[in-house]
Amino acid sequence: MANVALRNLGKTFDKTTVLHDISLEVADGEFVVLVGPSGCGKSTTLRIIAGLEEATTGEVEIAGRVVNNLEPKERNIAMVFQNYAIYPHMSVRKNIGFGLRTSALSKPDRIKRLEEVAALLDMTDLLDRKPAQLSGGQRQRVAIGRAMVRDPAVFLFDEPLSNLDAQLRTQMRLEIKKLHQRVGNTIIFVTHDQVEAMTMADRIVILKDGVIQQVGTPSEVYHKPANTFVAGFIGAPSMNMMAATATSQGIRLFNGPTVALVQSDLTVGQPVTLGVRPDDLMVGTGQVLAEGQVVVQEPLGAETLIYVSVDGTEVIAKASGRTPPAVGETVRLGAATENLHLFDAATGAALR
């Protein structure tokens, strides 16, 4: 097991810079998820750690050793790819054992290790099958097995669940998390799915345009987003953002009420953005923020999401699952003051 440190990492392809000064410390045994939209640089970061891409600037350190000039095989890492990358012409046994081809273990030890991993992944009965005879989830387990068999210092996962259907994804998410709890290796996991990030990570790293936006625990990034991008990216549905202005009495929403939210570092007249998560925005309770007509209902069973048109923009709120307001009905939406987020309108940075 090992720590991973990225120091001022930069990457340029031709004339396009895709990573800007990335610095990150991943502790030994930590499960870190890199998350962000397509093209944010998360996979490039992972590939630089793996040694499949060269960093243009900066250093990569694994287990206290700078590895920039080392080949992937010398870094003591294992990687699980998005499309599994299990060899179709080899049996499960050969696929899992492939990682041991260059190992110094004796043949009996290799067989023992292979069987241990197969047992851990509940694949003992499938060892003689070919990948074509396996389901998506089983293939993914083979890919994980191949990575595990070498007992690497660091596991790198590059969107490994994105090819699975929703149900299998949830199942595999749980399996990977359990596996991490059992083996305790350092894991760096790349995904574009914020639900995966929230449910699996010890810490989440949110990237946008090659720049780290925030690093924190799932709770931190959800409850204390560093900026409007993080606020909008983490959480589904996205946080509602409302244009507002700071006044001496509080925050006055555009064409709306003034919210009694006093912020000492604001100047009167300063444009701000008020954010509130749909989960925190209820019908007829708390500090009134908006009033409008329900345009769409999304029943989720226990609760119903309602889309309310407020001055031409749509605001999402949560309503009762049993007696939600009808489409066309005018509703007042409110939230508790402690659940309101305030951002600088110009920079998007969090103000509280």
Q: How far is the CB of 245 from other proteins (least distance, A)?
A: 51
41/97 with CB nearer other proteins: 97
Distance CA 281, CA 247 (A): 23
Q: Is 130 in the site for other proteins (CB under 8 A)?
A: no
Q: Say which residue the tokens 């060892």 belong to.
A: 127
99 binds other proteins (CB under 8 A): yes
Confirm or reject binding of residue 72 to other proteins (CB under 8 A).
yes
Identify whether 237 is preceded by a cis peptide bond (ω within 30 of 0). yes
Query: What is residue 278's three-state secondary structure?
Result: helix
Write the interaction track for other proteins spanning residues 134-173; mark x where CB under 8 A is met and - where it is not: ------------x---x-----------------------
Cβ proximity to other proteins, 82 vs 247, nearer residue: 82
Which residue is listed with tokens 């660091």?
154
CA distances from 274 to 53, 227, 232, 259, 350 (A): 41, 11, 12, 10, 10
Footprint of other proteins on 323-342 (CB under 8 A): none
Q: Is 11 in the site for other proteins (CB under 8 A)?
A: no
Instruction: For residue 12, count CB atoms less than 10 angstroms from its CB and return exposed for 0-12, middle for 13-18, buried for 19 or more.
Output: middle
Q: 83, 263, 285, 347: which one contacts other proteins (CB under 8 A)?
A: 83
Question: Which CB, 37 or 72, lies closer to other proteins?
Answer: 72
Helix 166-183 × helix 136-148 angle, to 10°: 20
Size of the residue set binding other proteins (CB under 8 A): 22
CA dist 59 to 4, 257, 301, Å? 11, 51, 50
Smallest distance, other proteins to C-beta of residue 72, A: 5
| Closer of 150 and 277 to other proteins (Cβ) | 150
Q: Summarize as ranges the residues that interact with other proteins (CB under 8 A).
A: 50-52, 71-73, 77-79, 81-83, 85, 87-89, 98-99, 101-102, 146, 150
